[in-house]
């Protein structure tokens, strides 16, 4: 018996997610529930590498330029991995934040806009948790509420819920320090 799962080059997490989708869903329900659609969209965004800069793509030979978004060595790691990796450079986190902001504001779908907003705040959370840097003008108090809200959404993936909860705790520490300084 040959193992055809290798043909798809799926990671263990991707295989597990596919299996879970198949086990918990009835065929007639697939893709019809808003929560499932958002979860799937979020998973797809996080599984994709960050699009390469147009300046990098423009510098490539014409033959490679068309394939540049599919080449892992050029495009890099998936966005989800980058957001959860303490070693991800701040410049990359800022690029993810800007990519999510631009993608979310240019979409015609509220569901896609919500998904990109979650990625936008995940980038802010990543910078706060792993680099102790606030990359937004929002106050820590506002961020705490945003992170809490996203962590309670049933379409947010577990790994992002963990990141949002950790970032919320960071905001709690910052707001309590701000409160001490204001007295």
| pTM to 2 decimal places | 0.72
Q: Which long-range contacts (CB under 8 A, 24 or more apart) does 109-114 make?
A: 111/34, 111/37, 111/38, 111/41, 112/41, 114/38
pLDDT tens digits, one per residue of 102-129: 999 999 999 999 999 999 999 999 999 9
Using a pLDDT cut of 70, give the percent of the chain over it.
66
Please state, in angstroms and rounded to a whole number, the distance separating the CA atoms of residues 120 and 151.
Answer: 14
Sorted by where each begins, the domain ranges of the chain are 34-182
């Amino acid at each position: 018996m040959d193992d055809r799962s290798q043909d798809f080059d799926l990671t263990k997490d991707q295989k597990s997610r596919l299996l879970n989708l198949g086990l918990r869903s009835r065929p007639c329900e697939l893709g019809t529930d808003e929560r499932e659609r958002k979860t799937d969209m979020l998973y797809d965004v996080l599984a994709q590498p960050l699009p390469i800069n147009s300046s990098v793509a423009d510098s490539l030979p014409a033959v490679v330029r068309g394939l540049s978004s599919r080449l892992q060595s050029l495009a890099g790691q998936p966005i989800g991995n980058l957001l959860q990796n303490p070693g991800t450079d701040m410049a990359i986190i800022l690029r993810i934040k800007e990519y999510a902001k631009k993608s979310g504001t240019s979409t015609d779908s509220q569901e896609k806009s919500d998904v990109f907003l979650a990625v936008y705040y995940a980038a802010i959370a990543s910078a706060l948790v792993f680099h102790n840097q606030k990359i937004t003008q929002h106050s820590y108090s506002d961020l705490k509420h945003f992170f809490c809200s996203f962590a309670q959404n049933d379409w947010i993936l577990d790994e992002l819920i963990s990141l949002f909860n950790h970032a919320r705790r960071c905001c709690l520490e910052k707001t309590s320090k701000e409160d001490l300084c204001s007295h």
